[in-house]
Structure formats: structure tokens, C-alpha cells
Amino acid sequence: MKCGAILFFLALLFLPQSASAYIGPGAGFAFIGSAFVFVLTFFMAFATLAFWPLQWALRRVAGKRISKDARTRRVVIVGLDGLEPKLVDQYMQEGKLPNLKALAAEGSYSRLKTTLPSLSPVAWSTFQTGVNPGAHNVFDFLTRDKRYCLPSLSSTETEPAKRTISIGKYSFPIGRAKIRLLRKSQPFWKVLSKHGVFCNILRVPISYPPEKFEGNVLSTMCTPDLKGTQGTFSVFTSAKRGEGESATGGEFCYVELKDGVMEGFIEGPPHPFLRKPEPLKVPFKLTVAADKQCALLEVQGERVQLQIDQFSDWVNLTFRFGMTKSVSGICRFCLRSVTPAVQLYVSPLNINPEKPALPISHPVFLSSYFAKRQGLYGTLGLMEDTWGRNEKALDDETFLQQTYLTHAEREAMFFDALERTREGVCACVFDASDRIQHMFWRYLDPQHPAPKEKGSKFVNAIPEMYQKMDNLVGRVRAKLGEGDVLIVMSDHGFTSFRRCFNVNTWLHQEGYLAFKSNGNGDGGRPDSDYFQGVDWSKTKAFQVGLTGIYLNRKGRERNGVVEADEVGRLKKEITQKLLAVRDPAHGRAPVRQV
């Protein structure tokens, strides 16, 4: 009774510090104060110990249990995103993958047909639900919202609080924002939990927001950064970029260098209570060493020594607003150069797993548990900064370094969970295989048009990655016991990407997508430059994402013009024309199936 009273008054003390607000106009979210998470973690840990005997007894009496006659004690699933079977076969024959070769010999090895389309969010959704895209409703990374025909995430939807109270320049939400998982059907771990099988599910794509069930899940793909985006990097540089030069997926900020010192601000999420949102900011100071081989970063009382092209550990940043409110994020810094210009890369601001600004796991304290066990780790859905590499904020070496830092974090939490999963399911997906192939396949393909950076150094980046994955499988096999089953799988294969076919350009050329005569239209939304200038009153079809063409249907899209009786004919017409397209460079068909 005394312990309960103490916990109750602790909650009263800390809960007023928590905040519920909507961050970001696009992929915003409701965040909760870190004090709330601290109290909740403490309380749940205490409650778990205190009530475990009662919970165990109730489950024995009322709940379904694993049969004593079950032949399988534990199922371990290792997902290796994008692993290409042709390379697996080649490297096994060359003796580079001894653990996968042994697994194939002792068990089974076969190729599985991937989903249509063969994209990670689609395939992993099918993996977890056992149904095709038509049933689970995930067809791409992106879909379009019907109101503005602008891109939105295909698996997650966020709605701000429906009501607000405005006082001067402030606007206070009444209630919380709502985050919904748009993937339909049930994942296998929910089904298993109903039959008494406990599951540890780590970083399996399309698990954000985490669904409640009798088990553990740590989210991944589509988990936003602290700004509410899918990952926005920053580069602070003393070199002025070309006029009008922009960066996809990030921002380059010019900061003057005075006597070897650079001072600036790291921007966080928008202030949640301002009617016209302005970013919360944290000041930093960077002092270049006299020998110009390193620099000292000072931010919020922390002093971080930075070496050129070496990532720092995670640094916690606290963004404060109001008198007592704050939200916590973490980032890594990388000093890219000090001469002839200083260039400081700042990774996307990840949600702090120790003090999560929104529930990125179920139970909510699971993310904090892993942070206590292994230290801070990245929580962004797409951790490896491919946009940063494309925009030359990173080079091949620093991108590879970042990728393997993330992989090491994933391994640590997976083996922790594996050790604690005595029976049931332990599943984890590793992304390094996919990301490294995306960025380094050009070293395998002599005909690839992209430039090769220090070619001899990275020509083995992909083979070495496959060997690292094989080593991971070997260490997992060493942890297996009698009655354990190991499944190693990938969601799709891989191949070279040499040429690009812009579907919207083609739709415009064929007369299906029209522009306003002055070319200065707003595309239905004044604050967006996507589809800027499109004349929706004359547009019949448009493309969003990597695989989807949408008809601008009357009664469905906001400015729809295609009548119901036109749909069948228009689909057939566009399909036939697409299949007839040939690349003028070599005569190949960019589209093989519609």
C-alpha cells in the first residue's frame, strides 16, 4: 500500500511536465514528455515484478498455452533485406559463405517469388500477414492523398488534434494527434500471441506505429525523425553553395568561420504551440584545432572531439519550449573537412529511445530498456542516409561507416532479445544488405554510368557485406539448441539500376497529365512545389511513388475528371502504350508488366 502511494504521488509530480502536441504539418506526431516515460518505465518494471506470479497463474488457468507436445521450442527469424540469390549462390560456391552453405545443406534452401511490386514495404507486409498487397493495402513506399493528390506514406497516417484553442500567437491542441497503421490484416505475431506464443519482433518493416499484443515489438520503416520527416540531414559549411542549389533529403547551411570558430543552430521540430510554427533550436560551437586535423564541438554542455571522417557517438539534444516542456532527440556528427572549408555533417535527429517522444515500441518502455542495456541507438525508420550520400554530404567511406554502426546496434539488441527468448519467436530484420547494394552496386557493374569513388577500395564492399551477413548467421547458429528452428530470408533480390524512366514526363507527353498555361499554378496547395503547375481539370492520370499510376477519377480525387465509364478504356489504353515504350539508347522496354 505504501509503495502504491509513493508511485501515485511520483506520477502526480512528473506527469504535469509531459506534453501532448502535434509536430510538423506533414508527418507530424503527438509527443509525450520524457518524465512521463521515466515514470512509466519505473512503474511498469515494478509492476511486472510485483504482479508476475498473478499474471502467470491467470494465464495458466485462462490463457492458451504452448502444447507440451510441441516439436519446436523456439523459432528464430533473421531477415536480410534485399539479399540477392544469384550472389548468394555464387559466393557459396566460392566458399565465401560457409554458414549459409552449411544451413542449406543441413536444412533447406530455395528461392521464393517476391511480391508484385517487389518493394520492401510491400514484401515485408506480406511476410508478416501472409496475404497479398490487395489484402494488406501496402503497394509502395508512398501513396497519394485524395484531397491534394500529393505524396503520403502508404503505411502510416497521422491526424492532428481536431480542436485547438488560439491565444495570440499561440495555438493549443485539445486532445492528442492520432497515428494509424494503414497496413491491414494481422501480423503473425498477434495471431501467435493469442495462442500463448510469445514473440520478440525487432525492426521488421511496416511495424510503425507498434500494435498492441502480448509480446514485444520495436518499430522501424516509416518511424519518423524528431522533425516528423523520414530523415532530414544537415550540413554546416563555411563554403557558400551555388545560388539556387538545393538538397533532397537535407539542407546545407552556410555559417561564417571566424578565427577557426563556427557557431550556429541545430534546428529541431517546430514549436508545437505556435500558430505559425518555427523550429526549436539548439546552439552549437565548433572550434577547429590549430593543426587542422580535428575540431571540438560544444553543444548543451557536452564537449565532443571530432576527427575528420569519423562519426561521433550519439549526442543527446534537448529542445525546450514553454517554461517546463522539452523534447529529446539524438544525432551523430561527422567532421567532413576543415580545409579549404569547414564542413560538419549532422545526421537526422532521431527520437531518443531512452526518452521517446512518441511510442516507437510496444510496450512503450521497450525502447528505453534497450537503451539502458546497450546505450543510445538509432530509431529512424531508414537509418542509413542514402540521400546524404546522393547529395555528397557523405562519401562512400563515411556512408559505409554509418551503415555498419547501425548494423552493430541492430546486432546487439537482436542477440540480447535472442538470449531472453527461451521459447516462442525472435525475429529481426537487418537493413545493411539492402542499403549497401543500393549505393555500391555500381562497383559490381562495369556498365554502370555512376562514377566510382576510389574504385579499388570499394570494389569488394558488396562481397564483404555478404560475408558479414554470413558471419552473423554463424553466430546465430551457435546460439541454437535442441528444438530450435532458424529461418534466414530476404524480401526481394537485387540488380543494377542504370537508366531511369520518368512516368509523369511520359504521361505529360502522351496528353494524360496537363500543365496550367502560365506554369505557375499551385497544384491545389500553395505551400507545396510537388505537381506545381498541374492543371487538374485536364489531367487524367498521374504517378506517385515508384510503382503506381493513379487515375484522376471524378468523385474520388478532389478535382477528378475521369468518369466511371472511362476507367476501363483508359486503363487499357495507358497499359498498352506503356508496354510499347522502348529506350532510344538500346531498345529495351522500361516497363515489362502493368
Which residues have a Cβ under 8 Å from the Cβ of 282 and sit 6 or more positions away? Answer: 265, 266, 268, 299, 300, 317, 318, 319
CA separation for the pair 298, 284 (Å, rounded) = 6
Task: Report pLDDT for 243.
Answer: 45
Helix (H) or strand (E) holding 419: helix 396-420
Which residues have a Cβ under 8 Å from the Cβ of 342 and sit 6 or more positions away? Answer: 236, 237, 238, 257, 262, 286, 288, 295
3-class secondary structure, 216: strand
CA separation for the pair 351, 167 (Å, rounded) = 29
Measured distance between the N- and C-terminal CA atoms of the chain, rounded to whole angstroms: 66
Q: Is 580 exposed, middle or buried (0-12, 13-18, 19+ CB in 10 A)?
A: exposed
Across the 594 residues of the chain, what is the mean pLDDT of every consecutive 10-residue run?
A: 35 32 33 41 42 46 62 96 98 98 96 94 97 96 86 87 84 84 96 96 97 96 93 94 68 94 96 89 97 96 98 98 89 97 98 94 96 97 96 96 98 98 97 98 93 85 98 98 96 94 95 80 48 91 93 94 97 98 94 91
Q: Residue 527 carries which side chain, given as an amino acid letter?
A: D
Model's pTM, two decimal places? Answer: 0.86
CA separation for the pair 205, 434 (Å, rounded) = 13
